[in-house]
Amino acid sequence: MMDICWLCVGLAVIAVYLLTQFIRFIFADADLTLLWAARFGNKPESKLRGKVVWITGASSGIGEELSYQLAALGARLVLSARRENELERVKRTCLERSSLKDGDILVLPLDLSDRASHQEKTAAALKHFGDIDVLINNGGRTQRSLCVEADVDVYQALMELNYLGTVSVTKQVLPHMIRRGSGIIATVSSVAGFVGVPLATGYAASKHAVQGFFNSLRTELTDYPNITISTVCPGPVISSIVQNAFTEELGKPVATAGDQTHKMSTERCVYLTLVGLANHVKEMWIAEQPFLLFCYLWQYTPTLAWYLTNVLGKKRVQNFKAGVDADSAYFSKPKVKTT
């Protein structure tokens, strides 16, 4: 009789635990490993203060917010993007929000597509600071167009920028980290790096390529345990990435970016990213529901994931054709675009 009572108690404890985890998952905005690190792991300020961090795509969106939060932590920064005037604006804001001095932030204009310039840019960063502790590959562009309407030139541009540009900068910085035996290379990929995403066939392909490259590189560096290769996979986040997206033709702007307010805040996404870097998390899924659920389904139940992706993917295309943001109104009827 006593054994039966203890068994009931044990089952009750397990049931309460599973229910608690289920409720946590419903409200989660990142994978459970990352959320555990956020609660119990190293704090970003304890691990990133004083580090030299090179951020590509630093002039807007996630890259801009990374600059602000890292500056507040006391990290020294190399800010890169194509638009030098925007980088100077970001630098001024970083100085206003931190105790950093002018020399602690280097504005280093960079075009990821101009791979011939990457050696010179890396040398300039090393000359200024002497070291690069962290490289954050954040630069890139997304896509909003149907495959049947998109020029092949768009696909080439996406691969040149998102994949080959990122690989090129990484290859310039990696030998320096190997010589010193430590460093972090973090790459902002996307949930689209391992999930099929309609309207972004070229973008998803470039991000799949990025993740294949860095997953393979990580295994090549097992002799250098103090070099961390980290991949960041955000879901929909408030940023200017949609406004700057490739469409069906090179040079053709997005007609309307739609309302972005339903997406995860950039501040939260960046904070979780920095938590992951401070704790050497190899891959981070950062997304609100239902996008986080999709990450787990694609990882563990691909057959179910394919079915749901087809259902919601159809809705995404409908949203796009109706002129609203592609990631909004999944469960309501979008208003028809008016001219």
What is the tens place of the pLDDT at every residue in 127-146? 999 999 999 999 999 999 99
Phi-psi region of 57 (alpha: psi -120 to 50; beta: other; left: phi over 0): left
Phi, psi of 228 (to 5 degrees): -100, 130
Percentage of the chain with pLDDT > 70?
93
The dihedral over CA atoms of 302, 220, 110, 282, expressed in degrees to the nearest 10, equals: 50
Catalytic residue, candidates 163, 203, 271, 330: 203
Copy the structure tokens of residue 15. 């049931």
Within 13 A of 105's CA, how many CA atoms are on the CB side? Answer: 27
Q: What is the pLDDT of residues 90-111, one digit of tens each?
A: 999 999 999 999 999 999 999 9
Residues 222-249 pLDDT 10s:
999 999 999 999 999 987 777 889 988 9
| pLDDT tier at 75, thresholds 50, 70, 90 | very high
Q: What is the pLDDT of residue 219?
A: 97
Structure tokens at 21: 């985890």
Q: Rg for the chain (alpha carbons), in Å?
A: 21
Q: Which residue has the higher pLDDT, 48 or 254?
A: 48
Beta bridge partners of 185: 135, 229
Is the pLDDT confidence value at 2 over 70? no
Instruction: State the pLDDT at residue 337.
Output: 45
Evaluate if residue 194 carries a pLDDT over 70: yes
Q: What is the pLDDT of residues 258-311, one digit of tens each?
A: 666 678 999 999 999 999 999 999 999 999 998 899 899 999 999 999 998 888
Residue 147: the pLDDT is: 94
C-beta separation of 292 from 29 below 8 A:
yes
pLDDT of residue 253: 81
Please report the domains of the chain, with CATH numbers, ordered by start residue.
30-302 (3.40.50.720)
- Say what the pLDDT of residue 314 is: 86
203 is catalytic: yes
Which pLDDT belongs to residue 338?
A: 44
User: What is the mean predicted confidence (pLDDT) over 200-227?
Assistant: 97
**Predicted structure pTM score:** 0.90
CB 92 within 8 A of CB 114: no
Q: Which pLDDT tens digit goes with each residue over 303-339? A: 999 998 888 888 888 887 877 776 665 555 544 444 3
Burial class of residue 220, CB neighbours in 10 A (0-12, 13-18, 19+): exposed
CB 333 within 8 A of CB 327: no
Find the mean pLDDT for residues 67-71: 98
